[in-house]
Structure 1
Amino acid sequence: MSLPRGADFHPPWPLRSGHIQTMLSSSGIRRQLLPRRAHKVQVNAREVLVDVGHGDRLSGRYTAQETGAESRGLAILFHGWEGSVDSTYVLQTGSRLLEDGWDVFRLNFRDHGDSHGLNEALFHSCRIDEVVVALGEICRMFPAKAVCVAGFSLGGNFALRAAMLASNQATPLDYVLAVCPIIDPAEGLFSLESNAPWFYQAYFMRKWRRSLRLKQEAFPQATYFELDELNQNMRDLTRSLVLRHTDFGSLESYLDGYSVAGDRLKALHIPATILTSRDDPVIPVGAFDQLELPPNVELDIASYGGHCGFIRDYGMTSFTDDYIAARFNAIAR
């Protein structure tokens, strides 16, 4: 049986615009138009706190499949930056996998969703160790005959890095799929500043500033930022927080710390797929063209899709649901 490919995605006009795809991907309009079945993963979902050591915890939601047949396995989903377990794309993908017989675990990264009060230390994108520990704990709590991970945007970057490290922790991952993952964070930041329309940076900054304020409210005794720092642009605010809250000596060192550019993914030894689009206005496609990948990693670059959009029609359903489900099901078989 042939698997869907990015080349199969041909949305109607005007959904061939990468900007429209990107803007609709997480919009309230799309959330309202989605059918009720796209929210099925929220029904009977169980809240789970995952111990990641040092007194820290990450939150998530677990939903067991109810097809009446044996579970295909455990699907673990990672949201993007400033997303959550309840982001539209996570709910839609999770609901589709649930219908196909997968148990689904949706993980919140630190300080995402409603988890700002769980841990005093601030989130940053190099906190990969706690995500690897979380994967091991999730697999221990919910043992399955197959374990597959899918991540979106920054979550795709985390999924790829975690899969490279998981084998050292004896975590039984069988497959990882990354949708529009961040490849070279430095290049991505430069692209947002210089090439992408202004409203993308404005959108991310609005959500990030809100998240930082929630963190400060949760731990009023801590000093996460100075008030004037919140007025900085993305580059300068990132630099301020990196220097204040991490051991990285510079913004450049921090950005390099979670890069998977060049040949870094050669350390990935399980089957993996990277799906992106040439019209992604947030993450430049050039970084994907320059990847040096091992034979077990499939790179699939579609002509259309925007950033984590891949919206196929005016009903707001996504091509990625079929794409992810088909590949997960193939691994389970």
Structure 2
Amino acid sequence: MSELPRGKDFRPPWPLTSGHVQTMLSSSGVRRLLLPKSAREVADHAEDVVVDGGNGVRLTGAFTAQRTGRASRGLAVLFHGWEGSVDSTYVLQTGSRLLRDGWDVFRLNFRDHGASHHLNEALFHSCRIDEVVHALGDIVRRWPRPVTVLAGFSLGGNFALRAALRAPAESIPLDYALAVCPIIDPSEGLFSLEQSAPWFYQAYFMRKWRQSLKAKQQAFPHRQYFELAELKQSLRGLTEALVLRHTDFGSLEAYLDGYSVARDALAGMAIPATILTARDDPVIPVGAFEQLELPPSVELDIAEYGGHCGFIRGADMTSFTDEYIAARFNSIRA
């Protein structure tokens, strides 16, 4: 992969050398407004669909067929981050780039994301990997292509790595996976947000999570998902309430371990994969990446700059990750 872009190639101008500036801009309304129209192409002519998550679970997504006039390179599946959706800026931007490069694109919503709260009564949590893997299998069966590739961001990157780890055993023909700033060790990430990251990160995630939980409550008024006092707790407190009320895990620690991909968890990865992160990511500590025990098939790429899922190049608000992901996907299917 010597000719492919590397994290070290990303050298943004000041003030984009700040991980906090990168992180705040990555999901900001300003970025959405300033992005070129081409960054939204994947939303044009998209087909909204419901896919099978197994055991009666339904997940929503959007499929867009490429229109280059050439044969499709293959199917590119994209996973958003926590409280994101198929219409998150980074998903639209990456999907649009892949579309122009000749990929058919499927953007998947996790449970309770993208206005899908009404489809499944039980709440989303990060250990619901079974339904995501089942949905990935359904997607690949319904839109079969010679090559299938997968990319995920933040929590979606964590899901992408776990899905890729399980794909061979589930007979899912996945050829490559790429994770941008994935959550590696959830217990460390949660601690980082509470203890070392600026207060506004936790406030941002908590605001979006509470809005999502209120939408869920409105969709199923006969259920009481949380007490009002629980909703007012910190990120750790509300997560623990979720675990004890709505999962079979006996403790917060067991739940966080349930979706960890830390240390040697990825040692058995049989599918080629890449993990891209930034040393200045204020949300996911870089130490967890440096402690990973990876097989030769998994590339770990740590950039100096980029923040959390930012990698914004300049005033046009486009991201280095678009070029990075497209180049690696295209190398799989030249």
Deviation string 1:165-189 (CA, Å, 9 cap, x unpaired) is 1111100000000000000000000
1:175-209 residue CA offsets vs partner (Å, 9 max, x unmatched):
00000000000000001000000000000000000
The CA deviation at 1:309 is 0.1
Which amino acid counterpart does residue 219 of structure 1 have in structure 2? F
CA distance in 1, matches of 2:3, 2:163: 28
The corresponding residue for 1:275 is 276
Following TM superposition, the consecutive aligned residue runs of length 4 or more in structure 1 with deviations greater than 4 angstroms are none
The aligned residue for residue 138 of structure 1 is: 139
Equivalent position amino acid for 2:303 in 1? A
Match of 1:212 in 2: 213
**Secondary structure at the residue paired with 2:266?**
helix
Distance across 2 between alignment mates of 1:269 and 1:233 = 38
> 2 CA distance for matches of 1:195 and 1:186?
13
Q: Distance in 2 between matches of 1:210 and 1:269?
A: 38
Question: What's the offset of the Cα at 1:54?
Answer: 1.9
Give the match for residue 116 of structure 1: 117
One-letter amino acid of the counterpart of residue 166, structure 1 = A
**Partner in structure 2 of residue 65 of structure 1:** 66
Distance 2:242 2:276 in 1: 31
What are the within-5 Å matches in structure 2 for residues 38-49 of structure 1? 38-49=39-50
Match of 1:228 in 2: 229
Counterpart of 1:132, as a letter, is: V
Q: Distance in 2 between matches of 1:182 and 1:230?
A: 24
Instruction: Give SS of 1:168's match.
Output: coil
AA aligned to 2:121 is E
> Matched residues in 1 for 2:5 and 2:306: separation?
14
Aligned counterpart, 2:325: 324
TM-score of the aligned structures, taking structure 2 as reference length: 0.99
Q: Give the Å deviation of 1:73.
A: 0.2
Matches within 5 A, 1:1-333: 2-333=3-334
| Structure 2 SS opposite 1:11 | coil
Residue 51 of structure 1 aligns to a residue in which SS?
strand
Question: Residue 192 of structure 1 aligns to a residue in which SS?
Answer: helix
Read off the aligned partner of 1:110 and give its amino acid letter: R
What is the distance in 1 between the residues matched to 2:82 and 2:103? 25
Question: 1: distance between equivalents of 2:50 and 2:311?
Answer: 32
Give the Cα–Cα distance (whole angstroms) in 1 for the partners of residues 167 and 130 of structure 2: 10
Consecutive unaligned residues of structure 2, counting only runs of 5 or more, are none
